[in-house]
Amino acid sequence: MVWDTISTMRGWIGSLGLGVSLVAAGCGDDTTPGILTTFGVPTSDSGGGDTGMGPGGSDGSAGDTEVGTGAAQSTGADDTGPDSTGPVPPECGNERLEEGEECDGSELDGQDCVGLGFDEGALACDPRTCTFDRSECVSWECGDGTIQPPETCEGDELDGNDCTTLGMGFDAGTLACDPSSCTFDVSGCVSWECNNGTLDPGESCDGADLDGNGCTTLGMGFDAGTLACDPVSCAFDTSACTACGDGTAQGAELCDGADLDGETCVTQGYDYGTLACAAGCGAFDPAGCNDYSCGDGMITPAVGEQCDGADLGGQSCTTIGVGYDGGTLACDPTTCSFDTSGCSICGNNVIEAAEACDFLNLGGETCIAQGFDAGTLACAPGCGGFDTSGCITWSCGDGLVTLGEVCDGANLDGESCITQGFDGGTLACSPGCVAFDTSGCFDCGDGVLNGFEQCDGADLDGETCITQGYTGGTLLCAPNCTFNTTSCSSCGNGLVDGPEVCDGANLAGQTCGTQGFPAGGTLACSGDCASFDTSACLTDSGDCCIANGSPGCNEAGCEAAMCAADPYCCDTLWDGICAGNAPLVCGICAGDGCTHDLCTTGGTLSLGCDACVDTICFYDSYCCDTAWDIFCVDEVETFCGLSPCP
């Protein structure tokens, strides 16, 4: 039958745009539209009141119409059915060129990529549209970065060639690529005959002719040696040239940098040390070599010297690891070992070396001996002096803040209530000059109004939001003891302030939509400015696929199609009959197992997820095996008798 070849006719089916027609049929004063499909039979039902089409029937609501499919019924004498004849469309995939086709399968009408203006590639035929598939055809041009025949090169890409590999007799030079033709540019290549005793172009030398050069004239850092000429390449041979400083002892050089040719301080007659190479590479530098001798000013660890003269090896009393923390380290001139007699340990209660005291050992010193009136003397950290912070000189009342005093009379030494941690007030000096009198200081937050404070905690000094110029609300006290009016409000001034959510026409940007009414409407402000008035907001019309309890549904295309067929659904109520007819009229509400809507292109839909899917895939398996493309969407109307997809 005709559907056995549907996979090759899907392009023809889409182009013909098979659709459905609504046919009016009626009886008496009640007229209900029905649905006529190309491959089905038109259905009509007559009678009074509610008329149902397809499964179901009257829902009990006056004027309600249910849409569905049923048995065929003639619409008139001129009605034409599916047996009508017409032109036979071309069949894509039969390996024959027919009218309207560029190609069919392997039949390419003699064309190839070159004939279509490309440079190379494989021309193919699109199996669904029978038009040329040019995706494998390619064009090339000079400068595209790829060497294509007849090109021999591209930019810097010479296909591995140079002047000497072209077979053109060149001996050297620089091969290039012509940017306009992508062929070799040999203008930089040269030919010569090396070792003929004559300097030819491109040669640095030839035989004994060194063009007046020597090792030292090449500018290559050589400072001695014999320059030669390579007999094959006629280039300089510098293997016999030498350069002091290149790190390699060669020629007449005794050494070069770290290369001492195996020599050491010992081979040079010293006891130990580090031999170096002298400038010029013609002699050794023995400055780092030594002989063993205490008193020579050089420490010789090999013979047990810890120090030598003034050289203590960077050590001191505190670094030699014996526990000393001060003093002066010396070197014994006879043994070259450390002399620790000048070192000391602060904290061992023994006055040593340069210590003035040690822990509790003050060497008999007191505050009075240090010139104070009284107090407790201590040893300072490090034992190098005394700590007199506990000593006192009696002079309170002289207006001067001296040792042991924090203030003296009106002299507060720059201190104030604020520096003492208070928020304000008047600081004073206590008798004895050893403490401050803070009785005149105050803090914000102590609950008592003081100084600059407008309020303090709950003490608002009798003030309210109304005395501050508002119409209501709660006056608060901020942490800095100033009034906080953020909870005060003036409902009716058109400003949203304090606890207000709105004020008159000022809705603070809110709408019926933001208040949970997607259908819109008019939002207003309540009289106390504390809430919104949603009485004029509209309730969402709801899902088209269920009885949503309101007129219409939330799918505009479906709502228009359904209400044209059954006005009751939009004028009165979107009930179960309206919801039941939505799949038939709108092509929506696919079965629960379908991964996407029937009117949406996408991945394949599975058999069994919807009755319409089963029907389409019976005739066109591509929709369930490969993809649910635009042809499958068109077939929702063709095979299922549903309204065209939007």
User: How many degrees, rounded to 5, is the angle at CA 353 between CA 347 and CA 357?
Assistant: 45
* pLDDT value, residue 175: 92
Q: Please give the Cα distance from 587 to 551 (Å, whole number).
A: 20
Q: Amino acid letter at 470?
A: Y
Round to whole Å and give the CA distance between 217 and 205: 14
Instruction: Find out whether 559 and 605 touch, Cβ atoms under 8 Å.
Output: no
Sign of CA dihedral 132, 135, 141, 147: negative
CA distance 166 to 156: 16
Q: CA-CA distance, 44 to 73, in Å (whole number)? A: 7
**Confidence at residue 142, expressed as pLDDT on a 0 to 100 scale:** 86
Measured at the alpha carbon of residue 479, what is the angle toward residues 475 and 484, in degrees to the nearest 5?
A: 25
User: Residue 88 has what pLDDT?
Assistant: 61
Kindly state the tokens that stand for 154.
């591209």
C-alpha–C-alpha distance, residues 16 and 18, integer Å: 6
Q: In a 3-state reduction of DSSP, which class is residue 19?
A: coil
Torsional sign, CA 451, 457, 459, 461: positive
Q: What is the pLDDT of residue 127?
A: 92
Distance from C-alpha of 257 to C-alpha of 280, rounded to nearest angstrom? 10
**CA–CA gap between residue 533 and residue 529 (Å, rounded):** 10
DSSP state of 113: T
Span 155-211, pLDDT tens digits: 889 888 998 888 887 777 899 999 888 998 988 887 767 878 888 877 889 888 888
What's the pLDDT score for residue 30? Answer: 39
pLDDT of res. 588: 63
418, 432, 443 from 413: Cα distances, Å:
14, 15, 22
Please give the pLDDT value at position 410.
92
Q: How confident is the model at residue 240, as a pLDDT?
A: 81
User: Which among 101, 16, 41 is positioned nearest to 54, based on CA atoms?
Assistant: 41
pLDDT at 412: 92
Q: Name the stretches of the chain with pLDDT < 70.
A: 1-88, 192, 517-521, 538-543, 545-546, 548-549, 554-556, 583-584, 586-593, 642-644, 646
User: What ranges do the domains of the chain cover?
Assistant: 2-70+541-640
| Residue 353 near residue 328 (C-beta atoms within 8 A) | yes
- In this prediction, residue 202 carries a pLDDT of 74
The angle formed by the CA atoms of residues 155, 161 and 164, to the nearest 5 degrees, is 130
The neighbouring-strand residues paired with 36 are 21
Cis preceding linkage at 82, omega within 30: no
| Number of neighbours of residue 543 by Cβ within 10 angstroms | 15
